[in-house]
């Protein structure tokens, strides 16, 4: 089987400085996260062939798309990319169906319509195939754009701030649509966003970009625990992100039991049994105890051992990583607590987590992150 | 009413539009889509016919089509007749003086297409030609139509250049606007008045048509 991963190496000093190296496996979702003007969109444009950096190497779907060292540059229309633009970029003179059919010109003429309708059906828009973009709502336009990207049967899926123009409720639904499309395609997905919600819900890996320079690239589970990274944790504070399977649902109590790599957790929320969900525990909601407490309302008492203690210079809060089975849970405690409890690597501790502190956010992003 | 002159005017207008619109689409698209060294110079050169007096334009065009110029000589060798003071010579002159009336609106129309829409078309796998035909031309269509109609109307009304390059040969190069001048010189005010009214009606109709068509296109595309 051909190598379906995406490999991108970009370097240039100006006019837009770039220093990025990333790899994304088929089925994974790499989120490029960073402030505006950090070059996120430029990376996507380079992958699509819409921008040619001074020095670049881009491989996808077993083909070389750009290799400046060897003078290779495949024009955009010969690259199999599914690109969802920030402002939809639909063709205003064509219907929803026409927009999707435009991405199928390499298919036999007779098969285009059926295939385009199937793509629209996948984003639940087959009832509006005959509408023109101006007759559709923002969310519907975005779904047409998604169907158009899907129709191309791309070797990579590129999403540029796909939810920035819609409200929160529509955003949640679109995130689920993206998760579906991504699962159908099974190709590397690159998502550009500056919204933490997108990261938590969709990412398997995160690339932090600052002024065109990649400052961190890791699994979301690892990056969300690191308090030293700008941008990503600023939005919500450090925390633990992991995928878990819903073991049991207690609808009467409004809680679910989650099986994770290291035991069981009770979380407030609803999700179907057997579903894989993504969960996040904010580090500041984790309490550490050196002995087993009793008489507490806390539902989750997780026995583990300290892996590391990070105490950034000049800060009063320390981040303590606790290994619970295969999962590393981050806890934020005071400098005082580190000293009074003598928290140090190797020490056995209990991590206490209230059920309401476990945020269950629905579909897991790509393959389970390796933590 | 000089129907022969009317026919010359209309066929000159149609020929000019037929030859110019493809040229305008190519040049307007190139100017809108590309940046190249000397683009400002090309844009200025395209606009020159707007500013020069018709006599100056006529002088240069006459030099261009005269049997002593390479183009005039070549035409005479191939066609067997002179280019100067002939209908083909008139069409050539009309094409050149109308360049800005065609290229500029079409260029603006192509420039009005959002860059993202062009990029999206490329990412859909459409080749440059397919993008031009299926996305860019349909979106620029109101501008192209406006350019064609304005050119037609402008050609009907052109006087100075036509007089200098075409002369005033009945059935060949005498257009309606020249015939009006002719009739005025002969104190035939009635004929001149009728022909002037025909030209006025044509101008109003074409402009109304342009407005109507572009409104309808805008409404349909939203």
- B94 burial (CB, 10 Å; 0-12 / 13-18 / 19+) is buried
Residues 6+ apart with CB under 8 A from B122: A48, A49, A50, A75, A76, A77, B131
Query: DSSP assignment of A145-211, as one string?
Result: HHHHHHHT--SEEEEESTTTTS-HHHHHHHHHHHHHHHHHH-S-EEEEES-HHHHHHH-SEEEEEET
Q: Which residues are bridge partners to A302 per DSSP?
A: A351
Can you give the CATH number for the domain in which A223 is found?
3.40.50.300
Let me know whether A146 and A267 are in one domain: no
Residue A133 included in any domain: yes
**Residue A183 domain-assigned (yes or no):** yes
Sign (positive or negative) of CA dihedral A165, A170, A175, A181: negative
Q: Taking a C-beta distance cutoff of 8 angstroms, is the pair A45, A51 a contact?
A: yes
Residue A342 and residue A215 in one domain: no
Nearest to B126 among A90, A93, A105 (CB): A105
Same domain, A72 and A210: yes
In the prediction, which pLDDT does B79 show? 84
CB A276 within 8 A of CB A265: no
For residue A74, which residues of chain B lie inside 8 Å, CB to CB?
none
Alpha carbon of B216: minimum distance to chain A alpha carbons (Å): 13
Same domain for A173 and A40, yes or no, is yes
Q: Give chain B positions within 8 Å (CB) of A105.
A: 124-126, 130
Does A41 share its domain with A75? yes
Contact between A106 and B119 using a beta-carbon 8 Å cutoff = no
| Cα–Cα distance for residue pair A276/A258, rounded to 1 Å | 9
Contact residues on chain B for A92, CB-CB shorter than 8 A: 117, 139, 221-222
Q: Chain B: nearest CA to A145, how far in angstroms?
A: 9
Determine the longest span between alpha carbons in chain B, in angstroms. 66
Parallel, antiparallel, or unpaired for β A72-73 and A81-84?
Answer: unpaired
Tell if the CB–CB gap between A105 and B119 is shorter than 8 Å: no
**pLDDT confidence bin for B177, thresholds 50/70/90:** confident
Q: Is A271 exposed, middle or buried (0-12, 13-18, 19+ CB in 10 A)?
A: buried
Q: Are residues A227 and A245 in the same domain?
A: no
A265 and A329 assigned to the same domain: yes
For residue A324, give the CATH number of its domain. 2.40.50.100
Out of A236, A251, A275, pick the residue that ends a domain.
Answer: A236
- Which residues on chain B are in Cβ contact (under 8 Å) with A102? 121, 124, 126, 134-135
The domain boundary residue, chosen from A207, A236, A265:
A236
Tokens, residue A75? 């024009």
| Contact by Cβ (8 Å): A344, A259 | no
Among B93, B11, B14, residue whose Cα is nearest residue B52: B93
A261, part of any domain: yes
Judged on CB neighbours under 10 Å (0-12, 13-18, 19+), A343 is buried
The answer to whether residue B221 scores a pLDDT higher than 50 is yes
CA distance B110 to B143: 8
- Domain of residue A91: give its range: 6-236
pLDDT in tens, chain A (371 residues): 467 899 999 999 878 888 999 999 998 899 998 877 788 899 999 999 999 999 999 999 889 999 999 999 999 999 999 999 988 899 999 999 999 999 998 888 888 999 999 999 988 888 888 899 999 988 899 999 999 999 988 999 999 988 877 777 788 888 888 888 888 888 999 999 877 778 878 888 888 888 888 877 878 777 776 666 655 655 556 788 888 888 888 888 888 888 888 888 888 887 888 888 888 888 888 888 888 877 777 788 888 999 988 887 777 788 888 998 888 888 888 888 888 888 889 899 999 888 888 887 765 544 433 33
In chain B, what are the domains? Answer: 3-31+97-221 (1.10.3720.10)
**CA of B163, closest CA in chain A: separation in Å?**
44
Residues of chain A neighbouring B120 (CB-CB closer than 8 A): 83, 85, 89-91, 148
| Same domain for A246 and A197 | no
The domain boundary residue, chosen from A176, A201, A236: A236
Inter-residue long-range contacts of A226-232, CB under 8 Å, 24+ positions, other chains counted: A227/A283, A227/A310, A227/A312, A227/A317, A227/A319, A227/A332, A228/A310, A228/A312, A231/A33, A231/A34, A231/A35, A231/A194, A232/A33, A232/A196, A232/A199, A232/A206, A232/A208
A119 and A213 assigned to the same domain: yes
């Amino acid at each position: 089987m051909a190598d379906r991963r995406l490999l991108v190496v970009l370097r240039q000093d100006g006019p837009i400085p770039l220093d990025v190296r990333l790899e994304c496996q088929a089925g994974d979702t790499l989120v490029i996260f960073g402030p505006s003007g950090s070059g996120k969109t430029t990376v996507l444009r380079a992958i699509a062939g819409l921008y040619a950096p001074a020095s670049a190497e881009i491989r996808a779907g077993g083909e070389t798309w750009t290799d400046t060292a060897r003078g290779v540059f495949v024009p955009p229309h010969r690259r199999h990319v599914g690109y969802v633009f920030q402002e939809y970029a639909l063709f205003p003179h064509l219907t929803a169906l026409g927009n999707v059919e435009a991405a199928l010109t390499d298919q036999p003429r007779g098969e285009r319509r059926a295939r385009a309708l199937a793509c629209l059906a996948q984003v639940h828009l087959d009832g509006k195939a005959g509408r023109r973009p101006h007759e559709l709502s923002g969310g519907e336009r975005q779904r047409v754009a998604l169907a158009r990207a899907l129709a191309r049967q791309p070797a990579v899926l590129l999403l540029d701030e796909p939810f920035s123009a819609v409200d929160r409720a529509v955003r949640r639904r679109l995130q689920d649509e993206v998760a579906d499309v991504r699962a159908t395609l099974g190709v590397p997905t690159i998502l550009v966003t500056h919204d933490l919600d997108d990261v938590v819900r969709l990412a398997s890996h995160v690339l932090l970009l600052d002024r065109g320079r990649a400052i961190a690239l890791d699994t979301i589970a690892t990056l969300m625990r690191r308090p030293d990274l700008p941008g990503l944790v600023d939005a919500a504070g450090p925390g633990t992100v992991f995928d878990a399977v819903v073991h049991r649902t207690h609808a009467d109590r409004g809680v679910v039991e989650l099986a994770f790599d290291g035991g069981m957790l009770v979380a407030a929320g609803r999700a179907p049994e057997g579903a894989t969900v993504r969960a996040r525990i904010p580090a500041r909601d984790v309490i550490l105890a050196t002995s087993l407490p009793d008489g507490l309302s806390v539902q989750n008492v997780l026995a583990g051992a300290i892996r590391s203690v990070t105490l950034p210079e000049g800060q009063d809060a320390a981040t303590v990583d606790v290994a619970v089975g295969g999962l590393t849970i981050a806890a934020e405690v005071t400098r005082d607590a580190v000293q009074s409890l003598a928290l140090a690597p190797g020490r056995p501790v209990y991590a206490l987590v209230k059920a309401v502190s476990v945020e269950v956010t629905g579909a897991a992003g790509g393959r389970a992150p390796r933590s | 009413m000089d129907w022969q002159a009317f026919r010359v005017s209309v066929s000159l207008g149609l020929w000019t539009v037929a030859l110019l619109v493809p040229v305008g689409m190519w040049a307007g698209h190139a100017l809108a889509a590309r940046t190249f060294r000397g683009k400002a110079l090309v844009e200025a050169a395209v606009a020159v016919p707007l500013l020069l007096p018709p006599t100056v334009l006529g002088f240069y065009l006459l030099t261009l089509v005269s049997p002593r110029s390479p183009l005039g000589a070549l035409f005479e060798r191939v066609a067997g007749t002179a280019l100067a003071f002939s209908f083909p010579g008139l069409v050539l002159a009309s094409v050149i003086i109308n360049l800005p009336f065609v290229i500029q609106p079409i260029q603006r129309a192509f420039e009005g297409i959002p860059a993202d829409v062009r990029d999206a078309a490329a990412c859909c796998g459409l080749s440059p030609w397919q993008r031009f035909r299926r996305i860019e031309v349909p979106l620029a269509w109101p501008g192209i139509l406006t350019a064609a109609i304005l050119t037609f109307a402008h050609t009907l009304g052109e006087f100075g250049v036509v007089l200098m390059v075409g002369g005033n040969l009945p059935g060949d190069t005498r257009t309606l606007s020249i015939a009006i001048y002719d009739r005025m010189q002969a104190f035939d005010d009635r004929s001149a008045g009728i022909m002037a009214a025909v030209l006025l009606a044509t101008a109003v109709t074409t402009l109304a048509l342009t407005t109507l068509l572009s409104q309808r296109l805008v409404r349909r595309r939203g």
